[in-house]
């Protein structure tokens, strides 16, 4: 119960870091050949991973990454090669195992390559599954990934979690306005509206009418506002100002929810990163002549953009088959060993200069 409340609190405040001490954690009775997993020092992440690793025999390195989750930390420049080098050195893991291989969460592929880690620290890295729940199967299968393990999913549980995270970030950011104008009365109505609209938009996104998220959110608002008015009128009687407020608050809440929504799904980059931190737009393509068919881009892509095709000369190459799936995370661009993956919007060498939290 305590853990559930902590999870909920940290989800609600997902926009701020939850750092925990970088350290080495042992699961079961690991020996000199046991796998070494690496994750970030976000306490929510470490707690969930620890639950999934119960019953395994392995080492877990919690790398210093500012307390931010794997995907944001990796794309935002907090979970880097330096984080991994630091924890490898300070944990003395080299004295505990004979091999020099670590297993990384797949979503850090946008910032960490095995090649660079090998050159700088003498360790090689392979990417494990995206989700902690798949690790048991992955380790049991001799560290073999299945295609399903490498794609993000957006289940009802994920949606609800994202609704909590999104309403948290909107409530913390914008509550000052209803609080100043309408006082606590307005704040509580605003917060309730934001949460209900977030939950509705995440859970029923595909079923709601409207061509954009803002319109879908406005549809929810059109249900919420009369409902609020009705409750208020039956309880407090009809008065002008509170009634006006009860139209304004849901309208504001649904507009904010609608514009923020896509950034809180795993299918779109958050709008903030581009607007404020200059995250470069990516339009990914593969130069067929340079592609060696090594499959790496396909494995690290979290949204299944790439397909293998056989060329007339029987050479297998990868192509950008589903550009509309692309989340512009840049993992394929960073990982491709022959630089066959290119960004069509950028001809200069590919750099992802970014520092956001």
Partner 1 sequence: MSTIVLMKAFESVPGRYDLGMRLITFGEIAQLRREISEAIPANSKVLDIGCGTGELLPLLVRRGARVTAIDKSPEMVKTARERVAVEGIGDDVSINQSTAMEVDRLYKDAEFDAVVLSLVMSELTNEERGWVLNQCARILKPSGVLLVADEFWPRSFLRRTAFSILRFPLHLLTYLYTQIRGLVTTNVWWKIYYVIVELPLMLLSFLVSEPLTNPLKSPETFLPQKLTVAHTSEFWGGAVRLLKIRKED
Question: What is the contact surface with partner 1 in residues (CB under 8 A)?
Answer: 13, 15-19, 22, 64, 66-67, 82, 85-86, 89-90, 120-122, 169, 172-174, 176, 275-278, 355-357
The b/e string for 115-131 (b: 16+ C-beta within 10 A; e otherwise) is: eebeeebebebebbbbb
Separation between Cα atoms, residue 357 and residue 308, nearest integer Å: 35
Q: Tell me how far, at minimum, the Cβ of 334 lies from partner 1, in Å.
A: 17
**Residue 97 dihedral angles phi and psi, to the nearest 5°:** -125, 155
Q: Tell me how far, at minimum, the Cβ of 19 lies from partner 1, in Å.
A: 6
Nearer to partner 1, 173 or 322 (CB): 173
CA distances from 290 to 127, 155, 228, 317, 352 (A): 23, 37, 60, 9, 22
**Residue 242 dihedral angles phi and psi, to the nearest 5°:** -55, -35
Nearer to partner 1, 148 or 176 (CB): 176
Nearer to partner 1, 17 or 128 (CB): 17
Q: H-helix or E-strand containing 307?
A: strand 306-310
Q: Tell me how far, at minimum, the Cβ of 297 lies from partner 1, in Å.
A: 26
Among 121, 117, 137, smallest CA distance to 129 is for 137
Q: Tell me how far, at minimum, the Cβ of 84 lies from partner 1, in Å.
A: 10
Nearer to partner 1, 71 or 219 (CB): 71
- Continuous H helices in the chain: 2-12, 43-52, 70-75, 81-91, 114-121, 135-140, 156-174, 176-203, 213-236, 240-260, 271-277, 296-300, 331-335
Residues 121, 88 contacting (CB under 8 angstroms): yes
Both tokens assigned to 188: 């509580």
3 state SS of 176: helix
Nearer to partner 1, 17 or 200 (CB): 17
Residues 63, 38 contacting (CB under 8 angstroms): yes
Nearer to partner 1, 12 or 267 (CB): 12
Q: Tell me how far, at minimum, the Cβ of 276 lies from partner 1, in Å.
A: 5
Nearer to partner 1, 15 or 303 (CB): 15
Nearer to partner 1, 87 or 300 (CB): 87
DSSP state at residue 343: E
Q: Tell me how far, at minimum, the Cβ of 104 lies from partner 1, in Å.
A: 18
Nearer to partner 1, 166 or 225 (CB): 166
Q: Tell me how far, at minimum, the Cβ of 16 lies from partner 1, in Å.
A: 4
Q: Tell me how far, at minimum, the Cβ of 167 lies from partner 1, in Å.
A: 14
Count other C-beta atoms under 10 Å from residue 310's C-beta. Answer: 10
Q: Tell me how far, at minimum, the Cβ of 172 lies from partner 1, in Å.
A: 5
Q: H-helix or E-strand containing 319?
A: strand 316-320
């Amino acid at each position: 119960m305590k853990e559930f409340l902590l999870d909920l609190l940290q989800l609600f405040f997902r926009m701020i870091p939850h750092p925990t001490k970088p350290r080495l954690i042992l699961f079961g009775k690991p020996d000199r050949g046991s796998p070494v997993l690496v994750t970030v020092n976000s306490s929510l992440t470490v707690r969930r991973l620890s639950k999934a690793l119960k019953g395994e025999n392995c080492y877990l390195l919690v790398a210093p990454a500012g307390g931010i989750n794997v995907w944001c930390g990796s794309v935002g420049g907090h979970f880097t090669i330096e984080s991994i080098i630091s924890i490898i050195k300070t944990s003395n893991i080299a004295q505990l195992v004979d091999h020099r291989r670590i297993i990384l969460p797949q979503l850090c592929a946008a910032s960490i390559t095995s090649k660079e880690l090998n050159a700088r620290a003498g360790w090689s890295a392979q990417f494990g599954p995206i989700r902690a729940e798949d690790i048991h199967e992955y380790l049991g299968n001799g560290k073999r990934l299945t295609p399903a393990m490498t794609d993000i999913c957006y289940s009802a549980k994920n949606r609800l979690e994202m609704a909590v995270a999104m309403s948290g970030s909107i409530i913390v950011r914008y509550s000052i306005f209803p609080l100043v104008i309408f006082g606590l009365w307005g704040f509580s109505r605003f917060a309730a509206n934001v949460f209900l609209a977030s939950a509705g938009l995440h859970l029923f996104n595909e079923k709601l009418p409207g061509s954009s998220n803002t319109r879908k959110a406005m549809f929810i608002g059109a249900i919420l506002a009369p409902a609020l008015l009705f409750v208020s009128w039956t309880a407090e009687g009809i008065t002008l100002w509170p009634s006006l407020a009860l139209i304004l608050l849901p309208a504001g809440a649904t507009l904010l929810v609608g514009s923020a929504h896509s950034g809180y799904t795993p299918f779109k980059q958050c709008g903030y990163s581009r607007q404020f931190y200059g995250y470069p737009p990516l339009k990914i393509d593969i130069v067929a002549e340079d592609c060696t068919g090594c499959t790496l881009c396909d494995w690290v892509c979290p949204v299944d953009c790439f397909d293998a095709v056989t060329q007339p000369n029987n050479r297998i190459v990868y192509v950008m088959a589903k550009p509309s799936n692309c989340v512009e995370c840049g993992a394929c661009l960073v990982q491709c060993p022959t630089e066959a993956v290119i960004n069509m919007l950028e001809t200069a060498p590919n750099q992802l200069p970014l520092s956001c939290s």
